[in-house]
Amino acid sequence: SQELEQSPQSLIVQEGKNLTINCTSSKTLYGLYWYKQKYGEGLIFLMMLQKGGEEKSHEKITAKLDEKKQQSSLHITASQPSHAGIYLCGADGNTDKLIFGTGTRLQVFP
């Protein structure tokens, strides 16, 4: 079965700094999804990547999928306190099932 490994597990950065979160899959990814979760709440969809080498941006967040489609990165530029939360990558393996990585907890301090 497919497994997703995220790194780092937690991240504490100062406001204004850039940061990167990585997601590595044990199998080729058909669809890679990034979600953000505020503590104790539901997941908010950020971006979906499907093609090798694809890159998408929304505001200050950029997600990339590598050419081999086994690794994705999420990059936040000039982080703000509003970026704090848990970031989760998910993969669907070309099925209806979405499995998730272990998550990266991000804290941004002023």
Judged by the rule CB under 8 A, the positions of this chain that interact with other proteins are 4, 31, 33, 35, 40-45, 48, 88, 90, 92, 94-103
Quote the least distance from Cβ 57 to other proteins, whole Å: 17
Quote the least distance from Cβ 14 to other proteins, whole Å: 25
Q: Which is nearer to other proteins, 33 or 84 (CB)?
A: 33
Q: Which is nearer to other proteins, 77 or 102 (CB)?
A: 102
Nearest to 76 by CA among 51, 99, 104: 104
Strand partners, 72: 23, 65
Quote the least distance from Cβ 96 to other proteins, whole Å: 6
Q: Which is nearer to other proteins, 80 or 94 (CB)?
A: 94
Residues 6+ apart with CB under 8 A from 40: none
Quote the least distance from Cβ 103 to other proteins, whole Å: 7
Q: Is 37 exposed, middle or buried (0-12, 13-18, 19+ CB in 10 A)?
A: middle
| CA distances to 2, 10, 33, 52, 79 from 19, in Å | 26, 12, 18, 22, 8
Q: Which is nearer to other proteins, 103 or 108 (CB)?
A: 103
